[in-house]
Amino acid sequence: MTEDEQFRKVPIDVAAYVLTKQKVDLFAACFGFGVGAMIATFATAKISGAHLNPAATLAFALDGRLKWKLVPVYIVAQYLGGFLAALVLMVNNLEAISSLDGGQRSAFGQTNSTGSIFATYPGSWVSPWGALLDQIVGTAILLFSLSAVCDKRNSGLEDRHQPLVVAFVIGLVCVAFSPNCGAIFNPARDLAPRLLTSIFGYPSVWAPVKGLYWLLAGVLGPHIGAIVGVFAYKFLIGFPLRRKRELTTGCDACDNYDLSPDDGSQHQCNCDDQNHSSGGIVSTKHQSITLSGRQTGHLQMHHRHDAAGNDKSPNYGAANIHH
């Protein structure tokens, strides 16, 4: 896991509009956001399983699919990556920013404000609880959708195809939830750049919505929403899928796959031997796979064969999406 994974979190595409004094094209900006997520996922899937979002990382750890010892490592890298990405963006565009604002930095609310290049800022109508609710709902929908896309038991998508679909999901959710708070969804892409702009002399970066916006919309909302989305998918879709496979195959299908890097440990997925009327059980080890084919550990499965020797076991896959 490296901080480079967070570079796509800073809305670089927004800078092109702000610095050229053009009206931001929401669809184009969100398209760029989705493509950036796709590239980052392809680039980092085999390093960390594309852990790009601290809110999603925490949610999957609570769900038992990520070792807790990795959580602080990932989160530190995510925030550090967001900060370094903002720093690169600032240095690269410093002359253009100074040309636009004449050296008088403004985070938001003015025609020459450039704070939105780095972090998000709410609409003037947004209340503290409205900001919190917006990010809870948006992040929950995002994580629910990504869980569906990456659940091979449900979508059947190959690992190499998942980042492309993920890009569309992120882009669409971005369009839907941009008006209020700018579609944060990821604390590392807002809090870290906000800190960077504060260091570089931008005033009032912590002021929006009575000084609570950065906390409610930037941190708490995405974390709560990610947990809601992951567990909503687990209870509404994951458990019924598991029950369906149990009824049709007699095998106790796994819900929680170990999404941690391979440390030689094994995750058990056991079939019920007492339910067999014919055939036999063959125990084999498989590599559990995260997004884009990253191997994360050994998955112990028992294959069911009928009397003719045909393998009747379901095809389980595991994918780890964190955006």
One-character DSSP codes across 247-264:
HHH-B---S----SPP-S
Strands (E) in 43-200, as ranges, are none
Mark out the alpha helices in 20-70 (DSSP H runs).
26-48, 54-62
CB 84 within 8 A of CB 196: no
Please measure the distance between the N-terminal and C-terminal CA atoms of the chain and give it in whole angstroms.
15
- Six-digit token string for 261: 């890097």
pLDDT value for 282: 35
- Report d(CA 165, CA 152) in Å as an integer: 13
- Report d(CA 204, CA 218) in Å as an integer: 15
- Report d(CA 134, CA 174) in Å as an integer: 12
- Report d(CA 95, CA 98) in Å as an integer: 5
- Report d(CA 196, CA 300) in Å as an integer: 46
Among 182, 201, 46, 174, residue whose Cα is nearest residue 122: 182
- Six-digit token string for 10: 């800073």
- Report d(CA 74, CA 48) in Å as an integer: 8
| CA 268 to the chain's CA centroid | 26
Phi, psi (deg, nearest 5) at residue 91: -65, -40
Token pair 């996922």 is found at: 41
- Report d(CA 19, CA 17) in Å as an integer: 6
Token pair 């998000």 is found at: 120
pLDDT value for 237: 92
Per-residue pLDDT in tens (0 to 9) along the chain, 323 residues: 334 434 434 455 566 656 666 666 788 888 888 898 899 889 888 888 888 999 999 999 999 888 999 999 999 999 999 999 999 999 999 999 999 888 899 999 888 889 989 999 999 999 999 999 999 999 999 999 989 988 878 877 788 888 899 899 999 999 999 999 989 999 999 999 999 999 999 999 999 999 999 999 999 999 999 999 999 999 999 888 877 776 776 655 555 445 565 554 544 454 443 443 333 333 333 333 344 334 444 444 444 555 455 555 444 343 444 45
pLDDT value for 253: 52
Q: How many residues does the chain have?
A: 323
pLDDT value for 21: 62
Q: What is the DSSP letter of 150?
A: H
**Count of beta carbons in the 10 Å neighbourhood of residue 5:** 27
pTM above 0.95, yes or no: no
Among 289, 296, 301, 299, residue whose Cα is nearest residue 266: 299
- Report d(CA 271, CA 282) in Å as an integer: 10
Name the strand (E) or helix (H) holding 118: none
Helix 12-19 to helix 71-101 angle, to the nearest 10 degrees?
10
The residues spanned by each domain of the chain are: 3-237
Strands (E) in the chain, as ranges, are 266-269, 280-289, 295-305
3-237: which CATH architecture? Answer: Up-down Bundle (1.20)
CB 296 within 8 A of CB 262: yes
- Report d(CA 208, CA 126) in Å as an integer: 9
Q: Residue 24, exposed/middle/buried by CB under 10 A (0-12, 13-18, 19+)?
A: middle
pLDDT value for 285: 39
CB 223 within 8 A of CB 185: no
